[in-house]
Structure 1
Amino acid sequence: MPTLTERLEACYTGVVHDVMRAMGLKAFTLPADLRPIMPERTLAGPVFTILGKVDVSADPHETLLAWTGLLSKAPAGSIWVSQPNDDRVAHMGELSAETLKNKGVRGCVVDGYARDVNFLLKIGFQTWCRGHTPRDIVGYWLPVATEVEIEIGDVTIAPGDYLVGDRDGLIRVPAALAEEIVTKSEAAIATENLVRKAILEGVDPQEAYLRYGKF
């Protein structure tokens, strides 16, 4: 039987968005300028959250100890989701991605920059970020906490929540409603397939909408 992660990964964000909107949920779509390095690949799974801060007085050794400690904490099957509170340096790179991928981490979402993008593409580690820079965290940035609530744009992401992202964007799926949202999304996809079939058979779009209640 497919896991909830696998089921969510088989959905697409447009239908998940519409289901959540119909449920009356708000503030669940992450900023549109967060983009994936592999837009053709869907990313879904439970989150491992990281909160950090800039500390320009930090010792280089201290920053690397803290960073490698973060890598050790990330659980298999999760998505690394970071609010670094920084827009200057990269918060994901080759060796970190290699480590996380080998641990079974599904990918990462960084509200900031990444580097070594050619290597990330080569190893197939899906990375969502705002852009790229060769600058790194050494002597500049430290983690504050893991597995805490973080905010990216107007979206609050809590431990246990899920994310799903595809070429259209990223959506936060709250833990308490994840099963219901996935089930409703699967049903909506089945209905959309009927609408699509009707359209391809020449049915008027308004008639198709009235017949199936979806468009």
Structure 2
Amino acid sequence: MSDLAGLFDVEMLKAKLYAAVLSDVLDQLGSPNQALKPFVRPLDEASILCGFARTGLYMKRYHFPEGHNPYALEMDLIDSLAPGEIAVLACDGPTDRIAPWGELLTTASMVRGAAGCLTDGLVRDVRRIRELNFPLFHGGIGPLDTKGRAEMMAKDEPVEVAGARVEPGDFIFGDADGVVVVPKRLFREAVTLALSKIEAEDTTRDELLAGASLRAVFERHGVL
């Protein structure tokens, strides 16, 4: 598991954070391109994706030699997931061909304590995955298997998912607004700023509910 996990209570972060505030503070920190393209959506909009990235890179394949196991590296990644880690599968999406995730990978990941899956590829077996309440953010839904179409060619290397760079150990947060990637080097600062901004937003909301003007509240707290 990421060595950053001990800096904050991840369950607390899952309860308090949201994608928009993380995006705001990353803008403030000079990293404005950390939100994934909006075609990546949660399978269940009530789910929260919160954890640390383990990456897998897929490419299209059109032929498999006899005796070759196209799932080998994929299985290695899933079998090595630790509690709190998220399988991040880069498929050069949006795609109508590469569908790396389904019910059995979900089950194996859950048993290992994984925090979810993020992919810009397709997913399948969605009815069963919804029943498992496993956080899954995807680039589309389709019935295709990867065999004969694609293969994981590298794992635990930097990848690009839906327009955002993801490195192993980066902090991933997703909700109904979308997914944000917090680079490892910015994790402590970004989360600290986000929690502070959330407090200011709570105060702003209370004052607005009490009838204060938006301009007056913004001038006091600088939050909008």
Cα 1:152–1:64 shift into 2, 3 Å: closer
Q: Does 1:3 align with 2:12?
A: no
Distance of 2:59 and 2:9 partners within structure 1: 33
**Number of equivalenced pairs:** 215
Cα 1:6–1:179 shift into 2, 3 Å: farther
Q: Point out where structure 2 has 5 or more consecutive residues left out of the alignment.
A: 1-5
3-state SS, counterpart of residue 120 of structure 1:
helix
8 Å Cα contact 2:91-2:98 kept in structure 1? no
8 Å Cα contact 1:48-1:159 kept in structure 2? yes
Distance of 1:163 and 1:61 partners within structure 2: 33
Please give the per-residue CA displacement for 1:106-129, whole angstroms capped at 9, x wherever unaligned. Answer: 110111100000010011111111
Q: Of residues 89, 93, 107 in structure 2, which corresponds to 1:82? A: 89
Query: In the alignment, residue 125 of structure 1 is paired with which amino acid?
Result: F
Query: In the alignment, residue 62 of structure 1 is paired with which amino acid?
Result: N
Aligned residue in 2 for 1:186: 195
3-state SS, counterpart of residue 48 of structure 1:
strand
Q: Does 1:71 align with 2:65?
A: no
Query: In the alignment, residue 177 of structure 2 is paired with which amino acid?
Result: D
Instruction: Report the alpha carbon displacement of residue 4 of structure 1 after superposing the two structures with TM.
Output: 4.7
Query: In the alignment, residue 190 of structure 1 is paired with which amino acid?
Result: E
Runs in 1 of length 4+ with deviation above 6 angstroms?
A: none
Residues 1-215 of structure 1 correspond to what in structure 2 (within 5 A)? Answer: 3-9=8-14, 10-59=16-65, 62-85=69-92, 87=95, 88-215=97-224
167-176 or 56-65: bigger deviation: 56-65
Instruction: Report the alpha carbon displacement of residue 7 of structure 1 after superposing the two structures with TM.
Output: 4.0
Q: Point out where structure 1 has 5 or more consecutive residues left out of the alignment.
A: none
* TM-score between the two structures when normalised by the length of structure 1: 0.93
8 Å Cα contact 1:53-1:143 kept in structure 2? yes
State the Cα RMSD in Å.
Answer: 1.8
